[in-house]
């Protein structure tokens, strides 16, 4: 797949002020793309959007607003991040997740189809698989999400496929094509500093461990120590946020080159236990922070990591930061940077 020239048409990024979105926007800007960020700042931050990007504060579910943005700027490509994503919260408040992640995205995707957007990249999740029967997990594995969050993302995947098929049945010659990226565990912060996970109350393991290491939290918990793994804790596939951002850019290049719609796993194809992640954070920080043990959480699978054949072959994706210590170190550096900012 040849890397096409940067398009003169801008890329619209929803949720571009959030964690993964802001890293992707930064990389798009650095390669010379024109970028429009649409974000309601529910969990994103205005400071995370580079000055080179056009920022619009608003909701992606607002069809009048999104249609105006697409028309006025001649948008042909969209990267869609805007979503609620806390698994535990989704179980307690499923309506919030279906309204935003499903209905909101339906409103947005319908406008994109109607206004002639050609490329749509969707931020999905490995939670669509639920508890997989085999690892590594291939894209052909059965889907059985165990949380409203996972189900909301899987439902949205179906919507994208069905909107494309409806457009084709209706006679559209070039319907909007999409790439669905099913993320595994995203972690770390921008190599070189300046960007990272800044959402209050974040639950990601690496983020929590970094917060404990710098003293933002007094301790952390391991949920379940009796799993059938090498040390009794769950195994997960951790991908550095800069590599994941780059996978979105490779997806954009793929679609601009005429690629058909696809669903693709995004991970490194190997897993680390919870204890291994904590040991890495202790190693890079030099802090032997407190770790408590707690019972298993409902819905946690023993092990899940990606089969990366498709992302490697189809997108020519080559990870640059496949190193657990580097992932932990960048997260730790980011937490230290945030502490300094709070003291100014």
Confidence of residue 1 (pLDDT cuts 50, 70, 90): very low
Cα 271–chain centre separation: 18
- Tokens standing for residue 129: 């698989």
pLDDT of residue 5: 59
Domain spans of the chain, in order of start: 11-186+240-266, 205-237+269-310+319-343
Rounded Cα–Cα distance for residues 279 and 209 (Å): 10
Taking the CB of residue 30, how many other CB atoms lie within 10 A of it? 11
Is pLDDT above 70 for 167? Answer: yes
Is pLDDT above 80 for 70? Answer: yes
Please state whether the peptide bond connecting residue 136 to the residue before it is cis, i.e. omega within 30 degrees of 0: yes
pLDDT of residue 344: 73
| Residue range 284-296: mean pLDDT, rounded | 97
Is pLDDT above 90 for 256? Answer: yes
Would you name the residues annotated as active-site residues?
149
| Residue range 6-21: mean pLDDT, rounded | 94
Query: What is the topology classification, in CATH, of domain 11-186+240-266?
Result: Rossmann fold (3.40.50)
| Residue range 189-204: mean pLDDT, rounded | 92
pLDDT mean across residues, the chain: 95
- B/e letters for 82-112, b = 16+ CB within 10 Å, e = fewer, are bbbbbbebbeeeeeebbebbbebbbbbbebb
| pTM recorded for the entire structure | 0.96
Query: What is the topology classification, in CATH, of domain 205-237+269-310+319-343?
Result: UDP-galactose 4-epimerase; domain 1 (3.90.25)
Q: Over the stretch 75-131, which tens digit does the pLDDT of each residue have?
A: 999 999 999 998 889 999 999 999 999 999 999 999 999 999 999 999 999 999 998
Rounded Cα–Cα distance for residues 200 and 15 (Å): 16
């Amino acid at each position: 797949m040849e890397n096409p020239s940067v398009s003169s048409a801008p890329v619209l990024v929803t949720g571009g002020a959030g964690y993964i979105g802001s890293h992707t926007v930064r990389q798009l800007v650095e390669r010379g793309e024109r970028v429009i960020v649409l974000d309601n700042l529910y969990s994103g931050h205005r400071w995370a959007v580079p000055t080179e990007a056009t920022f619009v504060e608003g909701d992606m579910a607002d069809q009048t607003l999104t249609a105006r943005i697409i028309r006025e700027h001649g948008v042909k490509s969209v990267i869609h991040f805007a979503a609620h994503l806390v698994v535990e919260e989704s179980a307690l408040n499923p309506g919030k997740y279906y309204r935003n992640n499903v209905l909101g995205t339906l409103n947005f995707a319908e406008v994109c189809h109607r206004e002639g957007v050609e490329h749509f990249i969707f931020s999905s999740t490995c939670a669509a698989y639920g508890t997989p029967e085999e690892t590594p997990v291939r894209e052909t594995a059965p889907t059985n999400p165990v949380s409203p969050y996972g189900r909301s993302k899987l439902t949205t995947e179906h919507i994208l496929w069905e909107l494309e098929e409806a457009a084709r049945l209706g006679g559209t010659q070039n319907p909007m094509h999409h790439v669905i990226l099913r993320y595994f565990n995203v972690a770390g912060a921008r190599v070189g500093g300046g960007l990272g996970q800044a959402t209050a109350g974040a639950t990601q393991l690496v983020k929590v461990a970094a917060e404990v290491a710098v003293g933002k939290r007094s301790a952390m918990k391991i949920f379940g120590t009796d799993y059938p793994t090498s040390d009794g804790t769950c195994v997960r596939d951790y991908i550095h946020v800069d590599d994941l951002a780059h996978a979105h850019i490779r997806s954009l290049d793929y679609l601009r080159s005429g690629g058909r719609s696809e669903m693709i796993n995004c991970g490194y194809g190997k897993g680390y236990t919870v204890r291994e992640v904590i040991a890495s954070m202790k190693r890079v920080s030099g802090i032997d922070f407190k770790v408590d043990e707690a019972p298993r959480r409902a819905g946690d699978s023993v092990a899940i990591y990606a089969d990366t054949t498709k992302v490697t072959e189809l997108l020519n994706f080559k990870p640059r930061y496949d190193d657990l210590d580097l992932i932990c170190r960048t997260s730790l550096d980011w937490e230290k940077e945030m502490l300094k900012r709070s003291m100014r």
